[in-house]
Amino acid sequence: MRVSELSRSSGVPVATIKYYLRAGLLHRGETTSPNQARYDDSHLSRLRLVRALVEVGGLSIAVVKDVLAAVDDPGTGVHEMLGRTLHAVTGPAVDGGPGPDGDAERADADLATITEYTGWALSESAPALAGARSVLARMHALGHGPDAGTLRLWADAANRAAEADLQAVARAGSREEVAETALVGTVLGDALLAALRRIAQEDRSRRQFRSDG
């Protein structure tokens, strides 16, 4: 297909496609004349992944290149490729500032409660672990540290979401599709989960408090 068809099929403007070609995020098509090239399904699927990384993940070109390198290297196993992809979209930890002594220790105790309950094997270098620790410390600093029952419910919630995520990933075909599915499902899924949580809160609040209104 020509670049105009590639644009139509992918929903990515021609100018953006040309930019991705120059930046090396998309491989060149087969040259058919000095001003034309032919593209195929490999360009379409790569373009879908790049679009997801840039538009949904909000990643810089440099980080997109790093993720694509992991996707394209058959020596990088699927688990590691997913890690590289999802670590890239895990923002910096919420910075609670230096809390009173003891908040960090309480956050670590919370994480111990969670791992004992879930059996999760935590990789100490994962950005999400630093993120969870930082948020928990901030909750304690504000006097709203969760109790064990709350931690277990949150861990259950995270487990359900992750179960859905990995099921979707398992249905994906190529390594590109695996990375794309994980990225879109995780980033948009965070926003969806937050919205559904608000809806569920409202439903519970109505049943719990409506009589006192």
Distance of closest approach, residue 154 Cβ to a copy of itself, in angstroms: 6
Are 131 and 157 contacting, i.e. CB atoms less than 8 angstroms apart? no
Distance of closest approach, residue 14 Cβ to a copy of itself, in angstroms: 17
Distance of closest approach, residue 23 Cβ to a copy of itself, in angstroms: 21
Q: Which of 23, 24, 26, 35 is nearest to 7 (CA)?
A: 26
Ordered DSSP codes for 34-102: TTEEE--HHHHHHHHHHHIIIIIT---HHHHHHHHHHHH-TTS-HHHHHHHHHHHTSPPPP---SPPTT
Residue nearer to a copy of itself on the CB measure, 3 or 127: 127
Q: Which two tokens stand for residue 56?
A: 């949904």
Residue nearer to a copy of itself on the CB measure, 36 or 167: 167
Residue nearer to a copy of itself on the CB measure, 112 or 164: 164
Distance of closest approach, residue 106 Cβ to a copy of itself, in angstroms: 14
φ/ψ (deg, to 5) at 197 = -65, -40
Q: Which two tokens stand for residue 44?
A: 């379409």
Q: Which of 22, 108, 7 is nearest to 65 (CA)?
A: 22
Residue nearer to a copy of itself on the CB measure, 28 or 202: 202
Place of tokens 């090239």: 37
Distance of closest approach, residue 179 Cβ to a copy of itself, in angstroms: 12
Residue nearer to a copy of itself on the CB measure, 71 or 141: 141
